[in-house]
Homo-oligomer: A and B are copies of this chain.
Amino acid sequence: MKRKITLKQIARELDVSISTVSKALSNSKEISEDTTQKIQAFAKLYNYKPNNIALSLKNRKTKTIGILIPEIVHHFFSTVIRGIELIANRRGYNVIVGLSNESFTKEIINMEMLANGSIDGFILSISKETLLKQDYHHFNATISQGMPIVMFDRVVNEVDCDKVIVDDFNGAVKAVNKLVEKNCKHIALITTMDYVSVGRLRTQGYIEALKVNKMIADSNLILKIDDSLDENHLEDLELEIEQFLKINSDIDGVFAVNELYAVTAMKVARKLGRSIPDDVQVIGFTDGVLSKHATPSLTTVSQHGQKIGEQAANLLIDRLGSEDTEYDEYIIDNDRKTDFIKVVIETEIIERESTK
């Protein structure tokens, strides 16, 4: 086993100084051609590559981005990561991933671990618990230490930073409009509790779209599901939706704020003898595997997760690039926080078999 070779070893071996080796390898014209040749040949032979850690220490930048998300086994989040990684790699950055697991404390611990020199900036989506507590001091603390943050999807006004979000409101509007257009008269909404901003926005979009279409927003047609009913409580979820559909037998259209609710609604509806899309049409949110491969396949509002990731990465890296210019000062000087960018990614309806 040969440990990685260092400048010092090359220098000793070739009987020159460390500086000479360093300069020769960067093709400095300070060094004669002979020496340069010799050194480069030797370095190549021993496959010399500069040590990233040493470089990071010297340059005070690590060329890596910290991603902090609530959950990785999740189609949307993993597509975002893919987008981030794509851009990051292209622009010479690595990504280091932390999982908050929807926990406030894990979010903080992870941030602190990474903020101590390991990364140059964060791209993150806030955990549910943090949103519930509405405690964002760790974000602001990190930012005020000079580490830029880009938030995506689950963002919050209380933190001043660049943001990339999906147009949840308009996505919902589009979905409801589509259902109206397809002749639905009684459109139900299956959503989550309000504290997750995206759920709230989608609900608002639903209500607004109904209003615009001069339809009444019947609160009986809105089913708010407790988030704890996740993957592990499928039966409860089905039961709840079943009750809901039974009671409201006139429902002919369903807009669900995520894939799972949508396919479950389809499943239950069929169980109740209603056919999709003839008796009831369904539109979901998030274009994941479920939407594509369900039978019938699901018409859905696509969020373009990868694009979100790409945008976020570009925003962050741009910030990092301009960091030398001390951009932070003018932020403090003038109070207008408009210096931060908020990118809105448009949604798109992908029509499949669950609508006519």
Give me the interface of A with B, judged by CB distance under 8 Å: 1-4, 49-54, 56-57, 62, 64, 72-75, 78-79, 81-82, 85, 89, 94-99, 110, 112-118, 144-146, 231, 234, 260, 263-264, 266-267, 270, 288-290, 292-295, 328, 332
Closest chain B residue to A306 by CB distance?
B73
Give A293 to B115 CA distance when docked, in angstroms: 39
Which of A51, A97, A115 neighbours the largest number of chain B CB atoms within 10 Å of its CB?
A: A97
List, sorted by A's number, 28 A–B pairs whose CB atoms are closer than 8 Å.
A1-B332, A3-B145, A4-B116, A4-B145, A51-B117, A53-B57, A53-B117, A53-B118, A54-B57, A72-B78, A72-B82, A73-B75, A73-B79, A73-B82, A74-B78, A75-B289, A78-B78, A82-B99, A94-B96, A94-B98, A234-B292, A266-B295, A289-B289, A290-B290, A293-B294, A294-B294, A294-B295, A295-B295
A97 pairs with B85, CB closer than 8 A:
yes
Residues in chain B near residue A113, CB distance under 8 A? 52, 94
Give A75 to B73 CA distance when docked, in angstroms: 6
Instruction: Choose among B62, B98, B144, B289 the residue that contacts A53 (Cβ–Cβ < 8 A).
Output: B62
Residues in chain B near residue A328, CB distance under 8 A? 1
B99 pairs with A96, CB closer than 8 A:
no
Closest chain B residue to A74 by CB distance?
B78
Closest 4 CB pairs of A and B: A51-B117, A53-B117, A52-B117, A96-B96
Closest chain B residue to A54 by CB distance?
B57
Residues in chain B near residue A72, CB distance under 8 A? 78, 81-82, 85
Residues in chain B near residue A98, CB distance under 8 A? 85, 94
Give A289 to B258 CA distance when docked, in angstroms: 14
Give A328 to B292 CA distance when docked, in angstroms: 49
Instruction: Choose among B52, B145, B260 the residue that contacts A293 (Cβ–Cβ < 8 A).
Output: B260
A1 pairs with B94, CB closer than 8 A:
no
Residues in chain B near residue A289, CB distance under 8 A? 75, 288-290
Residues in chain B near residue A1, CB distance under 8 A? 144-146, 328, 332
* A73-B75, A264-B293 known; A146-B116 Cβ under 8 A: no
Residues in chain B near residue A49, CB distance under 8 A? 112, 115-116
A52 pairs with B116, CB closer than 8 A:
yes
Give A79 to B73 CA distance when docked, in angstroms: 6
The minimal Cβ–Cβ distance linking A71 to chain B, given in whole angstroms, is 8
Residues in chain B near residue A231, CB distance under 8 A? 292
Residues in chain B near residue A85, CB distance under 8 A? 72, 97-99
Residues in chain B near residue A54, CB distance under 8 A? 57, 117
The minimal Cβ–Cβ distance linking A27 to chain B, given in whole angstroms, is 20
The minimal Cβ–Cβ distance linking A296 to chain B, given in whole angstroms, is 9
A118 pairs with B97, CB closer than 8 A:
no
Residues in chain B near residue A110, CB distance under 8 A? 89
Give A64 to B89 CA distance when docked, in angstroms: 18
Closest chain B residue to A64 by CB distance?
B96
Residues in chain B near residue A146, CB distance under 8 A? 1-4
Residues in chain B near residue A295, CB distance under 8 A? 263, 266-267, 270, 294-295
Give A309 to B94 CA distance when docked, in angstroms: 21
Residues in chain B near residue A266, CB distance under 8 A? 295
Residues in chain B near residue A3, CB distance under 8 A? 145-146
